[in-house]
Amino acid sequence: MRISELIRNSRKPFFSLEFFPPSDPANFDAFYDAVDELGKLKPLFASVTYGAGGKKQARTLEITSGVAGRGIPAMAHLTCVGANEKGIAEFVAGLQKNGIDNILALRGDYPEDRSWTPENSRFRHASDLVAFLKKEFPDMDAGVAVYPYPHPESPTFAEDRKWTAEKLASGADFAITQLFFDPREYIDLTENIRTRGAIAPVIPGIISIQSFESLKRILSLCGAHIPPKLYLRLEEANAKGGAGAVREEGAKIAVDMIRRLLELGAPGIHLYTLNKSALCETIIRESGLA
């Protein structure tokens, strides 16, 4: 099931999910319990992340196939880091063998030893992956990631929007945003790239903050911006009740964001689950998506 078709045929706002493969096979049963619980809410699709540098490629293939086997349209992440044509072709063949028609094409993070850089790779950018996939595997959908708040490596906002539009023009069927905390950033992104000719649907990615420490880690890793009022809400919750209070406040913020984004015309939302089914179910139901 191609995600672009599922989006096009959706008659109401939808939600999709992102999971990450458990590092320990002993946790597979608990992981699939979470998938099954959220699957009951009928997500439009679910994606499975890819280890840094492609280190968990086999695990991604295994888990994505397992998700698809439970009746949820599935998508595997794929990064440029360490990629070559042979490896990509083998990975895609494994997906197709298991009835999976969707890939999220990403540049990926640099390995810690900096053994990979865009300059020494055939696949320097996500757009290179998309172009290759569209040429060699035209029956596959290729999505890309985009940044409502500009990518940390972008020199200016305008430059970021320019390259985002060009990435979509490379043949991407849809886009999912990196996490963000201000709905206005999503609207600015979509309006800007539309003026540049990008027509692919853009799904906002939403995360629910788990602790004040995780918030600081997220902000440092992806360069996202959080409005001061929200930061102060989470800081106050942390001071009063620690991680539990922050989780509760984070869920409220996520629900408020989802409702606002849908009011502003977003086609649906992509929820970064952190493999936590109960919290995600609460957010989905309180957002009116199930």
Active-site positions?
18
Element of type H or E holding 200: none
C-alpha to C-alpha distance for 110 and 114, rounded to whole angstroms: 6
Where do runs of H (alpha helix) occur along 52-120?
Answer: 57-68, 85-97
Element of type H or E holding 142: strand 141-146
Beta bridge partners of 18: 47, 272
C-alpha to C-alpha distance for 188 and 239, rounded to whole angstroms: 33
Chain centroid offset of residue 123 CA? 20
φ and ψ at 14, to 5 degrees?
-120, 170
Q: Collect contacts of 158-164 with beta carbons under 8 A, ≥24 apart.
A: 161/189, 161/192, 161/193, 161/196, 162/196, 164/189, 164/193, 164/198
C-alpha to C-alpha distance for 73 and 22, rounded to whole angstroms: 20
Locate tokens 């998700």: which residue?
67
C-alpha to C-alpha distance for 288 and 271, rounded to whole angstroms: 14
Element of type H or E holding 182: none
